[in-house]
Chains A and B, each alone.
Chain A
């Protein structure tokens, strides 16, 4: 069983994890590159740029070109990480990534900060609620969001080590560091945080900490909760989900539109494999707006309280 850190947790944005890990990777492997589209400071690639300047490219505010250029670099054996915000990294260059990265199955990674509602005060234009769904539907792509700083560092490293397109999503805002720094992660394999048999909660990214708190409340009420961190929504860990159908009650939690994100990915498996009820907690198919991050979570029902109530409603 996993040893988690104890509250009160240290708070760190997962974009910091990308910045720290990619700088390490760049030092270790001269083929690792970063392709920035101007917002390197915000996306935390400055350390990489300063550490291995020859491996750093900045194409300016031109995301479509970033995707094509990275594809071209990768044909020669480079491992480029395109770094931008999730809105631009998924939507502005979606077709370029489809055509020039996924279709030829090239070794390009798309590493995006400002995932989900975390660019809260920037407003709805900057809150990426569709990004994971966009990439979920493109063949050859893997789609990942780590729950915290330590998980994200490990997942970034793994993304660099495996061949092929990967979409990585990070938080702009700080989230609790729940995992020990030595915890290992495997792309495509769910992390089980709690064993239980009354109800299952499956969360990813910045909602894992909320799910963890909710699970503890449920446990204190005598409800046995199985909790999974589904950091990879594609390829989804079918085996882990099929195992959950034995319990038959699943609550999914995500900082993403409930359409075509984690909840949908889990439902896809469940619909084919078992007689299970699924309740999806996430962005309610609506655009965001400027507000504190916690307020945005609250208006979408992405809260500890709602996770608890929803789980209890299934019992």
Chain B
């Protein structure tokens, strides 16, 4: 889908946001805040960057996607639905019995989920394992992982980081959704991360900090890292706003894991329809 335009991607990101919020509204349960902060780069990955095939989700040469911050499953589910991995009506079954859209991503139940996640801190290790397998098998696929800033408090993130550097996994591209909030409050109060970019740089990653809501910057950065075979894993630290696109959810801790009521839902959909206020 490399011929899709920036404007089309921006529109797609709005649609994914709407779908994610709709899902959480229907389920009356789920995590809208982080789904909205991750929406733009998830859109860029699924609709432009990643080499995946909805007709053959387990295609051996596909690019991989690991949502290490698995609670924001609604945004990945929205991407999978809009990309045709599952029928669109699946979005009305989030968190229901037998639904492919489990509360957190489940690779046994949903096509397009490369590995189950949901317990924070673990997905980056899995992504590193996939990237290492690609290197060993001399395959060209790449592995994209999404981690959260709160999640970076988990020690295993750093265990995974050091192994990605040791094994020269330049086929691993990590998006860090730096939205500054976690369940109990601002990340800087709960457990300050200090400078995440510098920390990953010290571990041996190629790092870059961007505006995670600028589709232009996201695409430009993806282009920059695309063919770099320098033996270094990449991390794109994204300045993002939790709840981005819905004014009353933006930067509000309480919207980490809460469903909107009918009035809030209508307002959210209406605001999203107007696009992102840049």
Contacts and interface: CB of A to CB of B under 8 A. Distances in A.
B246 interface: no
B122 A76 contact: no
A106 B129 CA distance: 13
B160 A69 contact: yes
B159 A62 contact: yes
Interface string A81-93: 0000000000000
Contacts of A96: 119, 122, 125, 156
Nearest to B70: A99
Interface stretch (B132-140, B187-195, B200-208, B254-262): B132-140
B124 interface: yes
A295 B33 CA distance: 58
A82 B160 CA distance: 15
Nearest to A55: B136
Interface in B113-131: 114-119, 121-131
Contacts, number: 106
A73 B117 CA distance: 15
Contacts of B137: 76
A308 to B, nearest CB: 47
Contact of A73 (B133, B155, B162): B133
Interface string B44-57: 00000000000000
A7 B192 CA distance: 63
Which of A73, A99, A103: most chain B CB closer than 10 A? A99
A55 B136 CA distance: 8
A246 interface: no
Contacts of B60: 76-77
B108 A64 contact: no
A70 interface: yes
A299 interface: no
A63 to B, nearest CB: 9
A82 to B, nearest CB: 11
Contacts of B114: 75
Contacts of B128: 65, 68-69, 72
A68 B136 contact: no
Interface residues of B, number: 36
A65 B159 contact: yes
A59 interface: yes
A72 B115 contact: yes
Interface residues of chain B: helix, strand, loop or mixed (majority): helix
A64 B133 contact: no
Contact of A64 (B107, B134, B155): B155
Interface in A205-260: none
Interface in B57-110: 60, 64, 66, 106-108
B106 A104 contact: yes
B160 A104 contact: no
B125 A68 contact: yes
A181 interface: no
Contacts of B107: 75, 104
Nearest to A62: B159
Contacts of B155: 64
B162 A72 contact: no
A104 B115 contact: yes
Given A70-B129, A71-B126, A73-B130, A64 B159 contact: yes
A64 B156 contact: yes
A100 B159 contact: no
A65 B128 CA distance: 9
B127 A72 contact: yes
A273 interface: no
B137 to A, nearest CB: 7
A75 B116 contact: no
Among the interface residues A54, A60, A103, which one has the most CB atoms of the partner chain B within 10 A?
Answer: A103
A75 B129 contact: yes
Contacts of B118: 99
A69 B163 contact: yes
A100 B122 contact: yes
Contact of B129 (A62, A71, A103, A104): A71
B130 A67 contact: no
B156 A105 contact: no
Interface string B197-218: 0000000000000000000000
A104 to B, nearest CB: 4
B125 A69 contact: yes
A78 B125 contact: no
Contact of A71 (B108, B125, B134, B167): B125
7 contacts: A59-B163, A60-B166, A65-B156, A71-B115, A100-B115, A100-B122, A103-B116
Given A69-B125, A71-B125, A75-B64, 5 more contacts: A54-B136, A68-B122, A71-B126, A76-B60, A106-B115
